[in-house]
A and B are shown apart, each in its own frame.
Chain A
Amino acid sequence: MKKKKATIACVTLLVAAQLTACGSEANTSASTQNGAGAESSTEGGTKVSGGSSVFTGELEQNVTIRVLENDTAISKGYFDELIAAFNEEYADYGIKAVDANMDQYSDLANDGPYGYGPDVLYQANDVIMQYAEGKHIYPIPAESMECYSQIPESAWEAYETTVDGTTYCCGVPVNIQAPMLYYRTDLLPEDWETAWDQDGNKVPDIVENWNDMYAYSIARHEADASKYGYMKSLYDAYFSSGFLFSYGGYLFGENNTDPSDIGLSKGEAEKGAWVLSQLATVMNEECIDDTITTNAYSKLADGTYFATITTPDLYSTFLDELTAEYEKEGLDAEQAKEKAKENLVMTELPKLPESGDLTEENPTLIDSKMMGGVNGYAISAYTKYPNASLAFVDFATSYEMMLKRSEMLGIAPAREDAAEKAGGTSELLYENLEAGNIILMPSIQEVSQFWTPAQTFFTDLAKDAFRPEGEKKYTDLSSFKTGLEEMDAQIYDAIFTLK
C-alpha cells in the first residue's frame, strides 16, 4: 500500500514537473511569440531577426493605418508627401496611411492598451526602447527589410533588446541625431582668413577648435557688451555630457548596458567639466537654465550670438528666423532665403584641447564626442494591421523617402546610401557615428534616472562661473572630479533605491 502511495506521489510529481516545464515553455513562447523567425547567432545570445510572428507577410487589405510622425515632418510638408506616395503605391491593396493626429509626445503605454494609440510611431530610440521593455512594441523582422544592409550595425543596436538570451530588434533607424555647431559666416571677424586660420584650410579656426571659439567669444563680447560668441544652456545634459565623454567619461558600463557601472566621472572626465566651466565664463547667466535653448533661434538671427549647438533637425527653424531677419532689413523673400542659406552653417563640433585648458596656445587637439540618438519607426503591439504597418515602415525607410526626408527637413539619414547622396552634414554625422564619436543614448530604462542629477550638476557648474571669487565651488580639477563622482553616486542611488 505504502509502495502504491509512493508510486502515485512520484507520478504526481513527475506530471507536475512536466506541466511546470510545459508552463515555462508556454510562458517563453508567449513572451517570445513576437520573436518567431529566422535566428542567427550573436555573441550575447540568440539574435532573432524574424521579428514577431504576427508579421506573416500577408498584407491586411482595405485597412487604414495611423502613423504618428514628429511635428517638424508635418509642418514642413514631408509627411504629406510620404503618405501620399505610400497610399498611391498600396492603392491596389486598399491600404491607406493617415496622420494619427496626436501629440508627438503622446504616451503609447497609456493610450495603446485602450486602442487609441497609433499603429506606427516615430520616436527617439530611448523612448521606443522604453515602450519595448513594457512590451508595447512588436519586434521587427529587421533583416528582411530593404534598408537593413544600408544602416550601420551601431544604429540597429540602439533598437535591440535581449530577453532570456534572445535579442530582438524593436525599431528601424531613420535619422541620426547628434549635436551640431550652428554659426553665421557673416558674423566672423573680417580678418578671419589672416588672423583666425592658422592651418590655412579656408575654414575659420574658431569653428574648428574650442580654444579659438573661446578666444573669439571673449573678443566679441569685449568689443560690444551686448554681443556674445558661443552660447548654450549648459544645464542641458544631452549636450553637456558629450564634453565628459570626450575625456573618457561614459554613462553606463558594458557599452551603455550595465546600469550598476556609472562612469561620468571616469577617465579624465573632470577636464570636460573644466571646459564647460570655462565656456560658462564667456556667456551670461542665461546659460544656467534653458533660456538660451529657447532664444537661440532669434538671438542667432539678430546677431547677438555668433554660435550655438543643437540638433540638426532644427536647421530649418534657424533658417526661417534668419530669413525673417534679412527680410526685415529690406531684402525680398527670395534674396533673404538665399542669403540666410549662404550665411547659416551647420557643422560638426570643434575639437577639444587634450589638456582641457581653453587658454592654451597651440594645444594638442582631440575629437569631440557627443551624446546622440537614433530616431526611427516602431510598430505598436496594439495594431490590428501589423503587416500593413510593416509595409509602411519599409516604404518610409526606402532610399527615395529617406533622401527626401533629409532634403526637406535637413536631417541626417541613417541609411548609408542616402547619407552619401545628401552629403554635407549628413555624411559628417554618419562618419562620426561610424567612428564612435557619437555615443548613442542608452536604450535601457535606467537612463531616465540620469537626467535630473546631471542637470543639477551642470546647473551648479554653470552657476559657479558667476559666483564671487571666494565662493566658487569648482576651483581645480579635483573639485570637478568630486562633483562628478557625487553625480555618479546620485544616479546610482536613484536607480537602485527606486528598484
Chain B
Amino acid sequence: MRKKRNATKVLDTSITYVVLIAVSFIFLFPCLWLILASFSKSGTIYSFEGFFPKEYSLINFKRLFTDTTLYNYPKWFLNTLFVAAGSCILGTFLVILTAYTMSRFEFKARKPMMKTTMVLGMFPSFMGMIAVYLLMTQFNLINHLWGLILIYSAGAPMGYLTQKGFFDTIPKAIDEAARIDGATNFQVFTKINLPLSKPIIVYTALTSFTWPWSDFILPKLLLKEKDLYTVAVGLMNLDETEFARFAAGSVFIAVPIVILYFFLVKDMVNGMAQGAVKG
C-alpha cells in the first residue's frame, strides 16, 4: 500500500515537473532567442542557422552605445531612468499617503471615494489618451519628461488597494497607544506605521518603477523629439534593417530591472503577501 502511494507520488511529481519544464521552456525560449540574437555577429536575422545565429560577438552592444548619430540609445536609456525614477519616488509617496488615509481615517466621503476609484480603475488607462494629450498641450508639457512623471504619479494612487490592505493589517491599537502618549497623526504615521511598512513601500516603489520603465503608449503620445524618447519608443522607431540593435537594446533595458528585482524580491513578496490579507 505504502509502495503504491510512493509510486503515485513519484509519478505525480514527475508529471508536475514535466509540465513545469514544458511551460517554462515555452516562456523562456523567446527570451533566450532574443538574448542570443542580440549577440549575433552578422546583425541580421536572415543569416541565422535555423533559429540561432551562426557567429557571436559583442558588436551590437558596442554599436548601441557608440553609433548614436541616428539612434541615441544612451540618451533614451537615461530618459527612461529619469522618468521611471521620478515616477517611482513621487508615485510611491502618493500611493502610500492615499492608502494610509483610506485605511486609518474615517471621513464622510471615504466609502464613495473608494467605490469611485475602484470603478475608475476598471477603465483602461489609454482610454483618456486624447484628453491627456489635449491637457498636456495646454500645460505646455509635450516634449517634457516631467510631463510623463506627473501623469504616472498622478495615476498611481488609483491602485492603492493593495497598500490599504497592508495598512489594515497593522493593529490600530498601536496608533491609539501612541496617541495616548501624545503623538500627533503625522508622528503616528512616520514613527509607528512607516517603519512597519517597509515591505509594502518596496513593493510599491518597484511597481511604480517598472510601469514607466516599459510603457510605450504614453511616451509615444507625448514625446515628439527623438532625443527625448524613452527606450520603448526609440526601439519601436528603429529602421527595419536594425534588428540586431533592437535585440541588443531590448536585452540591455532588462538589466537594471532584473538587478533591482533580485535585490528587492524578498521585500516585494512580503509586501504582496501581507497586502493581500484583509486585516
Taking beta carbons and an 8 Å cutoff, which residues of A are in contact with B? 71, 74-75, 77, 100-103, 106, 111, 114, 116, 294-295, 297-299, 302, 317
Q: Which residues of A contact B137 (CB under 8 A)?
A: 114
B225, CB-defined interface residue at 8 Å: yes
> Which residues of chain B from 189 to 233 have a CB within 8 Å of any chain A CB?
224-227
Find out whether the CB atom of B226 lies under 8 angstroms from the CB atom of A103: yes
Find out whether the CB atom of A116 lies under 8 angstroms from the CB atom of B142: yes
Q: Which of B45, B70, B227 contacts A74 (CB 8 A)?
A: B70
Within the complex, the shortest CB–CB distance from A435 to chain B, in Å, comes to: 32
B105, CB-defined interface residue at 8 Å: no
The docked-state distance in angstroms from the alpha carbon of A302 to that of B43 is 13
B24, CB-defined interface residue at 8 Å: no
The docked-state distance in angstroms from the alpha carbon of A111 to that of B137 is 10
Find out whether the CB atom of A299 lies under 8 angstroms from the CB atom of B241: no
Known contacts A71-B239, A116-B142, A294-B241; is-contact A111 B46 (Cβ 8 Å): no
Known contacts A298-B42, A298-B47; is-contact A317 B226 (Cβ 8 Å): no
Find out whether the CB atom of A114 lies under 8 angstroms from the CB atom of B142: yes
Closest chain B residue, CB of each to CB of A297: B241
B250, CB-defined interface residue at 8 Å: no
Q: Which residues of A contact B47 (CB under 8 A)?
A: 298, 302
Closest chain A residue, CB of each to CB of B221: A110
Q: Which of A71, A106, A295 contacts B224 (CB 8 A)?
A: A106
Closest chain A residue, CB of each to CB of B137: A114
B contacts with A, residue count (CB < 8 A): 18
The docked-state distance in angstroms from the alpha carbon of A103 to that of B137 is 19
Most buried by B among A74, A103, A111, A297: A103
Q: Which residues of B contact A103 (CB under 8 A)?
A: 226, 237
Taking beta carbons and an 8 Å cutoff, which residues of B are in contact with A? 42, 44-47, 69-70, 137, 142-143, 224-227, 237, 239-241
Q: Could you write out 24 A-B pairs with CB less than 8 Å apart?
A: A71-B239, A74-B69, A75-B69, A75-B70, A77-B69, A100-B225, A101-B225, A101-B226, A102-B224, A102-B225, A106-B224, A111-B224, A114-B142, A116-B142, A116-B143, A116-B224, A294-B240, A295-B44, A295-B45, A297-B44, A297-B241, A298-B42, A298-B44, A299-B46
Find out whether the CB atom of B239 lies under 8 angstroms from the CB atom of A102: no
Q: 8 tightest CB-CB pairs across the interface, nearest first?
A: A295-B46, A298-B44, A101-B225, A75-B70, A114-B137, A116-B224, A101-B226, A298-B46
Q: Which residues of A contact B70 (CB under 8 A)?
A: 71, 74-75
Q: Which residues of B contact A74 (CB under 8 A)?
A: 69-70
Within the complex, the shortest CB–CB distance from A70 to chain B, in Å, comes to: 11
Q: Which of B46, B69, B241 contacts A317 (CB 8 A)?
A: B241
The docked-state distance in angstroms from the alpha carbon of A294 to that of B44 is 10
The docked-state distance in angstroms from the alpha carbon of A317 to that of B70 is 15
Closest chain A residue, CB of each to CB of B55: A328
